[in-house]
Amino acid sequence: MNKNYLIAVVDDDQHIRNLVEAYLLKENYRTIGLGSAEEAWTLWQTSPPDMWVLDIMLPGMDGYEFCRRIRSEAEVPIIMISARDNEVDKILGLELGSDDYLVKPFSPRELVARIKRQLQRWYKMSSPSEGANSLTTYARLEVGHLQLLLEERRVFWCGEEVDLTNKEFLMLKVFADSPNRAFTRDELLTFVWGDDYFGSDRAVDHLIKRMRKKLEHVPIEAVWGHGYRLRTKGSVQTDEAGISN
């Protein structure tokens, strides 16, 4: 499914940028090449792309810091590319929020295939009509002082609206749908990232950490040696007619 997405390729090696862009153009994607994270950040603030192909080793701000900044604001897909074939580097990239990690030298065709997969997942996850991540048919979830308006994808805590990224919303929805249930990290990865996600389960910890900063007093607690749960005394689920269940 190609919706004429705009893909930003950030690499200080012009040859790599040109090569990746050429392959993407053949697939009818729109592209823009950038040589630094600073240029990329300016693009993000003015005309944000639909996806990033991001080198780690960049002059000035590196790819890790750029990824961290993007993830503090949105869940747009990010594929990191690097000459570093080190497990620690891969884990760090995935923990910071990248969706995939590819080591140089790589096959441009493989990169294009991974880009297609990430965009398909993103489109599916971002579409309210898709049922893959929907755990309930209710229009509203209430857990204590927490309220989720599912169709509008809005979250309120103690009456105040809180802005969440798409993955943060999906994670909170999983917890609110089954309050007090302890979910394993693998279960949360499947619900939020999809069953074909291959990265580290530390991505769950990183997402929870970001959620806690935004929802400081929401009782999302760690279950030692297991995962996480939303601790609460009760919940209310309401259908579209406003009937409690």
β-pairing, 51-55 vs 6-10, is parallel
pLDDT the model gives residue 225: 87
CA distance 42 to 184: 38
Tens-digit pLDDT profile for residues 83-129? 877 777 777 787 777 888 888 888 999 999 999 988 887 766 555 44
Instruction: Give pLDDT, residue 7.
Output: 96
Return the pLDDT at 152: 81
Q: Residues 176-201: pLDDT tens digits?
A: 999 999 999 999 988 887 776 666 67
The CA-atom distances, in angstroms, between 202 and each of 152, 168, 244 are 29, 15, 36
Low-confidence ranges of the chain (pLDDT < 70): 1-3, 123-138, 196-200, 234-245
Residue 217: CA atoms inside 13 Å, Cβ hemisphere, count?
A: 7
Q: Which residues pair with 55 in a beta bridge?
A: 81
Angle between helices 108-126 and 166-177 (to 10 degrees): 50
Distance of alpha carbon 119 from alpha carbon 92, whole angstroms? 22
Is the torsion defined by CA of 41, 99, 72, 29 positive or negative?
Answer: positive
What is residue 130's predicted lDDT score, i.e. its pLDDT? 44
Handedness of CA 207, 122, 184, 174 (dihedral sign): positive
Q: Would you call 224 exposed, middle or buried from its count of C-beta atoms within 10 A (0-12, 13-18, 19+)?
A: exposed
Length of the chain: 245
* C-alpha distance from residue 3 to each of 6, 111, 120, 124 (Å): 9, 18, 10, 13
CA 87 to chain centre: 21
Within 10 angstroms of residue 206's Cβ, the number of other Cβ atoms is: 16
